[in-house]
Amino acid sequence: MELLAIYVSPRLQGNSRILLDNLVAGVTSQGISVERLFLSQLNIKFCQACPISEPGRWCRLEDDLLPVYEKVLSAKAVAIGSPIYFGSLPAQIKALIDRFQCVWLAREKGWLTLENKKPGVFLGVEASKREDFFQNARSIIKNFFATAGFAYADELFCPGMEKEGDVLSRKDCLEIAFQIGLRLAQRCR
């Protein structure tokens, strides 16, 4: 797997999924392999701020997130497609990000070295047209990427997406997502 595509929305046919699918189409058109991860289909417990006590051991909580650590850390690139809820990120992605505290701790203790050079991409949609909401979500995603060894490489923000499928009428957003996928494929080589 070269690209890990993380689908955040609980809407399986929602606007952020459509955008991320267009990015994935750009990536796969260049022969790059993709694994899709649908967070709404996983059982993810909330972070309990457990200290890590040994190298190589991730979180102590037993749930569907445990194999995700290795998927994220071994991917050559990560793309996240997410709606914006109440001016920030939804609980699904926030739970994953919070659980990466153990990765941050492992880096702080010198047990894990990451170069922060692999590309990370964020696609966001929201019903309103508030740039500050997207900026808030962007700052959280940037911190997650930095913790997990990725550089914030590209983004797309599509406001005014109230109803499921609204993005289909925004050919500009769909084309930009595809073009981001093409650029991402070049960085995965």
Q: For 129-178, write each residue's pLDDT tens digit.
A: 999 999 999 999 999 999 999 999 999 999 999 999 999 999 999 999 99
Positive or negative CA dihedral for 3, 155, 38, 117?
Answer: positive
Categorize the per-residue pLDDT at 52 as very low, low, confident or very high, splitting at 50, 70 and 90.
confident
Residue 52 is encoded by which pair of tokens? Answer: 């890590």
Sequence spans of domains, the chain: 3-188
Residue from 179, 145, 157, 184 nearest 16 by CA? 157
Q: Are 158 and 173 in contact (CB under 8 A)?
A: yes
* This prediction's pTM: 0.96
Token pair in block for residue 46: 């909330």
* Cα R_g (the chain), whole angstroms: 16
Is it the case that residue 58 has pLDDT exceeding 80? no
User: How would CATH label the architecture of 3-188?
Assistant: 3-Layer(aba) Sandwich (3.40)
